[in-house]
Chain A
């Protein structure tokens, strides 16, 4: 069924009786060519591109709960390609280009909104770093503008310029960055994948791998054994748990990132703002809530909830940057589990087990990567070679030393 304004009107006039399920509810078959573990944004996007772009057949996505229930349904909805390093920026730029055409591609309005992202700078050294980054972005085909304090003030007069502990000296503006209605991304890819014949199987938890002679044979699940020629794990947050069933230890720790939404407000903040002197970034959803976040709690956890010190730290930063938030109320906080990798960058790679692939380690940057991660994982599954923008995301890079450390924090996951 194709969605359109015309269709909405027609259904409205005929009692909405024509709407069909966005994806089929199917039981697993005995065997697939491809099994993708994890019905999140990445897994569903991979299934979609594998079927549509790479001609894959007999594809299943296995989801232990309900699709879109992981980090794609629990994030701060930002998309951007403002990375510094060669291993990253081309990938995120590829992703941003896919976002820019997502609605037409999927015939689903995920509300991609390129409202602009402004990274504030507060010191000369930060400005120098922003200049290096902005130039790297432009050299990689992305966009960037360096604003001085007046430029920032013109754009966001309500920021704290006059009574700030760390005065705003400017900002790096990435106009093509923005926000997306996050749940809709999962649903749009699910619907698209379903239309291309992918089986999306919910409430189907993988409980083990069947491996024979170093080759993958299939997966054990709560709904029985499912044979597969190729299996990909795309379960950020639970990567260590799933891959440990294949005997693998990963360069990943699981951490909780809390995020926050305020009560609904009339238009307040047009774009995305990130504070350079504290842990805070913020945007406003189309519905009116201010969506914001900060740093991870910092300790290993699988509990999808955090604690007060980080809540207070984020909000202290927020009110320091935007004093008008003081009388705005925090409505809800939540926590998602991140695959925090050892250099802050992800993995899209084969494993030492033939036919077993791994996509994970996205830290808290997985959402913006969704289209490209899906595409690149599909590329790897279909061709057994990495996509040209994802060649650096190797599992063995810590052995080789070819690290992609965007923040320069070293092997300490909670600092990335």
Chain B
């Protein structure tokens, strides 16, 4: 597979390390009343869709960017690649 890195251009997927669903960005608040349940769902449950999947790849053999790749799990077609940091900021993550 090729991943079109937003900064570096197309790179072989073998340069990257895969983590999983990009929902792993949405780490729950540890002080919330339902934190235990929220962390359980966050860490362990997956939509695991057959189709478009937003997922985290780390450019380990490259510039060390974490990327959010939107890829179809039936065809492996990649439709968008974003810097995970941008995605995280857009989703309201900051210092917590």
Contacts and interface: CB of A to CB of B under 8 A. Distances in A.
Answer whether A and B touch in the complex at a CB cut-off of 8 Å: yes
Interface of A: 240-241, 244, 249-254, 298-303, 307, 309, 342, 398-399, 411-414
B18 A414 contact: yes
A250 B46 contact: yes
Given A299-B71, A301-B73, A398-B40, 19 more contacts: A240-B46, A240-B49, A241-B50, A249-B45, A249-B46, A250-B45, A250-B46, A251-B44, A252-B46, A254-B50, A299-B55, A300-B53, A300-B55, A303-B76, A309-B13, A398-B43, A398-B44, A399-B37, A411-B44
B48 A252 contact: yes
A249 B49 CA distance: 10
* Residues of A contacting B: mostly: mixed
19 contacts: A240-B48, A240-B49, A241-B48, A241-B50, A249-B41, A254-B50, A299-B71, A300-B20, A300-B48, A301-B76, A302-B74, A303-B76, A309-B12, A309-B13, A342-B43, A398-B40, A411-B44, A412-B20, A413-B20
B87 interface: no
Nearest to A396: B40
Interface string B26-59: 0000000000010011011111111001010000
**Band of interface residues on B:** 20 to 34
B1, B46, B53 — which one has the most chain A CB atoms within 10 A of its CB?
Answer: B46
A398 B45 CA distance: 10
A251 B73 contact: no
Which residue among B44, B45, B50 has the maximum number of chain A CB atoms within 10 Å of its CB?
A: B44
Contacts, number: 68
B29 to A, nearest CB: 19
- Cβ-closest 7 pairs across A and B: A240-B48, A309-B14, A398-B44, A249-B45, A251-B44, A302-B50, A299-B18
A214 to B, nearest CB: 20
Contacts of A303: 73-76
B19 A412 contact: yes
A398 B13 CA distance: 31
A254 B1 contact: no
A241 B51 CA distance: 11
Contact of B1 (A240, A249, A307, A411): A307
Contacts of B13: 299, 307, 309
B48 A254 contact: yes
A12 to B, nearest CB: 46
Contacts of A298: 18
B20 A253 contact: yes
A240 B50 CA distance: 9
Nearest to A249: B45
A398 B49 CA distance: 21
Nearest to A413: B20
Contacts of A412: 19-20
A302 B73 contact: yes
Nearest to B42: A411
A143 B21 CA distance: 40
B44 A253 contact: no
Contacts of B74: 301-303
B85 to A, nearest CB: 21
Highest count of chain B CB atoms <10 Å: which of A241, A302, A398: A302
Contacts of A301: 73-74, 76
Contacts of B19: 412
Contacts of A413: 20
